[in-house]
Structure 1
Amino acid sequence: MNFDKIVEAIKNHHTIIIHRHVRPDPDALGSQGGLMHMIKETFPEKDVYVVGSEDPSLTFLIGMDTINDDTFKGALVIVCDTANAARIDDTRYGKGDTLIKIDHHPNVDKYGDILSVNTDASSTSEIIYDLFLYAQSHGFKMNDQVARLLYGGIVGDTGRFLFPSTTKKTFQIAAELVTYNFDRSALYDGIYSTKETIARLRGYILQNYKLADSGMSTIKLNQSILREFGVSDMETGQLVGVLGEIEGIKAWAFFIEEDDLIRVRLRSKGPVINTIATKYNGGGHPMAAGASVHSWEEVAQVVNDLNQACMLYTK
């Protein structure tokens, strides 16, 4: 896991800058923010920053810092929850002194000077807690804010402990985190509360999704539809799990039209889909992945690949 090298790198740098992937989810923010607060609690004299664009629906978890390029000189840069270097939010990550990758996705892109990748972990937040357990002997400290963020990250990436990635260890870590003082109800409300516009778009999706005989399902959300419902392309991430509740669907894809590309969100209840995502400028987990294409003709290719995966899949 290289925790020894990570601990030494943290000790040896005064400035530490923590990144995560674009379009953050609770695990990206939870691991990023949880690590930041852990380092600050342990080493109050160090300058520790979190960077990246903000999703307004998740700023209740943690806000981002604004820093200039000079801050990166001699800094330790840590990237959380990001499988591919191309998806790191804030492209200045390479301007530091040392680069660390901490992640739980398949290690296809082995960027960084120090890597800690554990695909058996439910989330990167779970890995950060493992790092804390290891680093306790080096004086690392936990506090309520760290526990809140790591718990939120685990909850988000396990779908409230419903996904197969949830293990006995995940529950044990969650049990330890809830001994700290934070408002779990407020945390759940922040992650899972739904705006009326999102609820109405959910209804549209349930009325208009396509289902093939293979068990593949798709929905296309062009800019006209998004404008009609008053939903931003970023907010559609809250709806990607909707089709997974429908009987007979093995795998599904959301195609969301943005200004300069079409975002592809892939999910599965069996067929492996991250291999499809890697063909289209993306990646992720076997059951949850993302990609991007630049035309509706390419969308048809993704649909064909997903349909083939569903046809070949047998339990």
Structure 2
Amino acid sequence: MKSSIIDTIEKYETIIIHRHERPDPDAYGSQAGLGEMIKNTYPEKKVLLAGEEDESLNFLARLDDISDSEFEGALIIVCDTANKERICDQRYVKGDLVIKIDHHPNREPYGDLMWVDPEASSASEMIYELYLEGRKQGWELSDESARLLYAGIVADTGRFLYPSTTERTFNAAKELSQFKFDRSELYENMYKIPLNVAKFKGVLLQELIPRESGLAVFKITKEMLEKYELTADETQAFVGIAGDIEGIVAWVFFVEEDDVIRVRLRSQGPVINDVAFQFNGGGHPLASGAKVYSWDETEKMIEALDQVCLDFEQKE
């Protein structure tokens, strides 16, 4: 499949690369890292990065303003996006051919070509492996490409702490780290948080009461966001907040927005993506997302998560 993707890229003059809405560093890293790689290897091609920008990730890359006409006859590559609904900029359907490159379970196949590898730590790791295949045909990896892919791998592995980190992950990180970019500056940009975010994180921890199942529940209302002058996107900064707390096997964030309640799920063992799938979402077995539309619906989700956690404890 990697060879087929490379051969397809060679055939197109215009290539538009997408990723998922509400991006994280792996979304940006895989999207922009692939874009830089194609630009370096094929300078005559037009390579565009699609989607709405996230200001907090501007240190990684800036995206392009793309006209409708530029989609006509273009190759579309979608990185790090499990389902069509989450593709940022739905004009991808206007392209000539769609390639899906993703590391999430393939519950919703889409695209004319699909390379899906749930064993990969990140989409950025996959893009690095695409480069290894492409080297046979003259593909080039620049310092900037390496910086972007390294950032994506570091973020999606929780700085190499998550179980998705494997020998292939470390091999990719080792090779990428040999390129010339400032890792200290990269880490600083990725992990620094404003004071108001840090204070709110303290409030959440102070009020935390784990459930008997080992599940921790965090409910963040619009009023709480306003009080601490936070955006819903900024709550992503502390999604791993409960990972080091003894007795907690899984945790869920409910973040209220204008028309939806966003759900972020993390686990130390119980498989949670099946629950996410029941509530308009999906993801990895230990890291998933979903969305619900009322606080009553969150209670149903909590019940389902409680049962998953209890079943896991019984097996242990």
Short-chain TM bin: over 0.9
Code of the residue aligned with 1:4 in structure 2: it is S
User: CA separation in 1, counterparts of 2:24 and 2:202?
Assistant: 23
User: CA separation in 2, counterparts of 1:244 and 1:190?
Assistant: 22
2:145 counterpart residue number: 146
Code of the residue aligned with 2:306 in structure 1: it is N
User: CA separation in 1, counterparts of 2:196 and 2:83?
Assistant: 32
**Percent identity (aligned):** 52
| Maintained 8 Å contact 1:208/1:219 | no
1:161-199 CA distance string (max 9 Å, x none)? 111111111111111111110000011011111110110
Code of the residue aligned with 1:170 in structure 2: it is T
User: CA separation in 2, counterparts of 1:72 and 1:255?
Assistant: 36
2:104 counterpart residue number: 105
Map residues 36-51 of structure 1 onto 2, 5 A cutoff.
Answer: 36-51=35-50
Cα shift at 1:51: 1.1
1:235 counterpart residue number: 234
Pick which of 164-173 and 257-266 moved more.
Answer: 164-173
User: CA separation in 2, counterparts of 1:290 and 1:79?
Assistant: 19
Code of the residue aligned with 1:24 in structure 2: it is P
1:169 counterpart residue number: 168
Cα shift at 1:209: 2.5
| Maintained 8 Å contact 1:31/1:150 | yes
Q: Do structure 1's residue 224 and structure 2's residue 228 form an aligned pair? A: no
User: CA separation in 1, counterparts of 2:203 and 2:57?
Assistant: 24
User: CA separation in 1, counterparts of 2:186 and 2:172?
Assistant: 17
Corresponding residue SS for 1:78 = strand
User: CA separation in 2, counterparts of 1:65 and 1:218?
Assistant: 38
Map residues 242-253 of structure 1 onto 2, 5 A cutoff.
Answer: 242-253=241-252
Corresponding residue SS for 1:204 = helix
TM-score normalised to structure 2 length: 0.98
Corresponding residue SS for 1:205 = helix
1:60 counterpart residue number: 59
Q: Do structure 1's residue 180 and structure 2's residue 179 form an aligned pair? A: yes
1:4 counterpart residue number: 3
Code of the residue aligned with 2:227 in structure 1: it is E
2:82 counterpart residue number: 83
After TM superposition, the runs of 4+ consecutive aligned structure 1 residues lying more than 6 A away are: none
Cα shift at 1:210: 3.3
User: CA separation in 1, counterparts of 2:128 and 2:152?
Assistant: 11
User: CA separation in 1, counterparts of 2:246 and 2:192?
Assistant: 24
For the aligned residues, what is the CA RMSD? Answer: 0.7
2:128 counterpart residue number: 129
Count of matched residue positions in the alignment of Structure 1 and Structure 2: 314
TM-score normalised to structure 1 length: 0.99
Map residues 186-201 of structure 1 onto 2, 5 A cutoff.
Answer: 186-201=185-200
